Structure 1
Amino acid sequence: MSEGCLYYVMGPSGVGKDSVLAWVREHGVAHGVLCAHRYITRPAHAGGENHVALSEEEFRSREQRGLFALTWEAHGLHYGIGNEVAHWLARGADVLVNGSRGALAMACERFPALRPVLITASPQAIASRLAARGRESEDEIAARIARLSAYPVPPGSVVIRNDGSLASAGAHLLQTIRSGRHNLANT
């Protein structure tokens, strides 16, 4: 059995990463794709993603015990990806991880064969989504939009634009995974 591939999904707030990953979670199981949960020091009801909520103490305890494959901090929160992903990969599953651009180098060290995936959207779509979320002021949204050009596309990334239908972006991600399997089978 060949090892699965880790798809490291990233993109700025408002591009719809969580929505694309939720779509793939719903439609990708038939294709053998597993979506890893993030462990976050954020309440379970906060934010739009399906995550495992941990207190800061529980997060640190798990981190000290080596239970995370990856960890990082962003926006005053701690994020982790559990070691279970290595187990899934070793058993041939393709795994999607909701990552951070800031932790990409660490992820590449831990999983050298990972495929980076960048979800993007137009500044207008991002601003609209952030406003609808209601967590940031207009000034904070404008600052996020202004920072968009500061984030270049990481080398080797698959780029998926999420300006159209969610199904289109999700299907593009699933097609990327299927193509990766096909390429591995032919090598």
Structure 2
Amino acid sequence: MTGIFVAVVGPSGVGKDSLIAFARARFEGSGRVTFVKRVVTREAHGGSEDHDSMDGAAFAAAEAAGQFALNWDAHGLRYGLPIALENDLQAGRAVVANLSRAVIPALVERYPHAVVVSVVADRDVIAQRLANRGRETEESIQRRLDRSVGDRLPASTVRIDNSGDLAVAGEQFVRLLQDVTAAVRA
């Protein structure tokens, strides 16, 4: 495959989807970057999420049929990335997706040249963002804040702090994607 997979990871509430949306607006129509929609066994909530929904039985059938490039379980839900992303990689595009940190070993095994972007933010900022989403109880927010995935990230992981203004972190992410797309074309 000639394209590069860019995995965006980080704890819930850190702003991964916001960063991806920021970059999507910049690269829209460029033909150089594809932003993959996850499939999740939960309905999307308002403007805070961008995924395709599927019930558990349909997800299991899709998984059995090999329709996911990667899939994982987290927080009682199933997540998958459509296998069609490989068409974009073969076409030489950068492919960007929001992943769980726990699936990084499988990502690197399947796509050895993947770039991992770890989005971080101050704990208080994350807690406020989770509360503002209105999807979770205080107890579940605390569980998410305390969740430890271990150090599964490659040494080459790029870290972006999204504690402050989205435009600052967003520009950092856009520059990274510009570098990735330049490397793909080289």
TM-score greater than 0.5 by the shorter chain = yes
Instruction: Give the whole-Å Cα distance in 1 for the aligned partners of 2:44 and 2:131.
Output: 21
CA–CA separation in structure 2 for the residues paired with 1:139 and 1:4:
41
SS at 1:43 equivalent: coil
Aligned partner of 1:179 in structure 2 is 179
Residue 50 of structure 1: CA displacement?
1.0
Report the equivalent of 1:159.
Answer: 159
Aligned-partner Cα distance in 1 for 2:147–2:54: 29
Structure 1 unmatched ranges of 5 or more: none
Q: Where do 5+ consecutive residues of structure 2 fail to align?
A: none
Match of 1:21 in 2: 20
Is the deviation greater in 135-144 or in 155-164? 135-144
- TM-score, L = length of structure 2: 0.89
Alignment match, 1:75 = 75
The correspondence of residues 97-112 of structure 1 with structure 2, limited to 5 A, is: 97-112=97-112
Q: How far apart, CA to CA, are the structure 1 residues paired with 2:29 and 2:82?
A: 23
Q: 1:40 is matched with which residue?
A: 40
Quote the RMSD (CA, aligned, Å): 2.1
CA distance in 1, matches of 2:185, 2:24: 24
1:59 corresponding residue in structure 2? 59
Flag the 1:140–1:77 CA change in 2: closer, same or farther, 3 A: closer
Distance 2:46 2:12 in 1: 15
Distance change >3 Å, CA 151–CA 160, structure 1 → 2: farther
> Residue by residue, what CA displacement relative to the aligned partner does 1:65-95 show, whole Å, maximum 9, x if unpaired?
1111001001111100011111101101111
